C-alpha cells in the first residue's frame, strides 16, 4: 500500500483531503494505506480514480473482468483520443 501513500503525496493531497473526497475520515485512509483495511470495491475504484491509478494496480486484490490492456491496445485507445493516463503506471514499469 506504499504506492497509495506515495501517489497521494505526489498529487499534493493530505489524508484529510483525500478522505473528504470519498466521504470518509482520515483514519480510514490511513488504515487503507497501511494495509490494515481493504475498502469495498466501489471505494477502492473511487480512490484509484482520484489517484490516477488503475484499480488493479492500486488494489491488486481486485481485478476487473477483463485483463489489463496490452501496450498495443493502449496505443489504439490513445489514437482514438481516449485518456490512458490512469495506465501511465503500467507504461513505466
CATH label, 2-91, candidates 3.40.50.2300, 3.60.150.10, 1.25.60.10, 1.10.260.40: 1.10.260.40
Contact 53, 89 (CB under 8 A): yes
Q: What is the b/e burial string over 1-31, where b = at least 16 CB atoms within 10 angstroms of the residue's CB?
A: eeebeebbeeeebebeebbeebebeeebbeb
Measured distance CA(67)–CA(57) in Å, rounded: 12
At 66, the pLDDT band (50, 70, 90 cuts) reads low
pTM, entire model:
0.66
Q: Report pLDDT digits (tens) over 79-92.
A: 888 888 887 776 65
- CA nearest to 73, candidates 90, 56, 60: 90
Q: Report pLDDT digits (tens) over 40-57.
A: 989 998 999 999 998 888
At 27, the pLDDT band (50, 70, 90 cuts) reads very high
For the chain, the structural domain boundaries read 2-91
Amino acid at each position: 500500500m506504499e504506492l497509495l501513500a506515495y501517489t497521494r503525496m505526489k498529487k499534493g493531497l493530505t489524508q484529510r483531503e483525500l478522505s473528504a473526497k470519498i466521504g470518509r475520515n482520515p483514519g480510514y485512509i490511513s488504515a487503507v494505506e497501511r494495509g490494515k483495511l481493504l475498502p469495498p470495491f466501489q471505494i477502492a475504484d473511487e480512490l484509484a480514480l482520484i489517484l490516477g491509478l488503475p484499480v488493479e494496480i492500486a488494489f491488486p486484490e481486485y481485478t476487473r473482468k477483463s485483463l489489463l490492456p496490452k501496450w498495443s491496445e493502449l496505443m489504439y485507445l490513445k489514437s482514438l483520443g481516449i485518456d490512458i493516463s490512469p495506465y501511465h503506471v503500467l507504461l513505466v514499469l
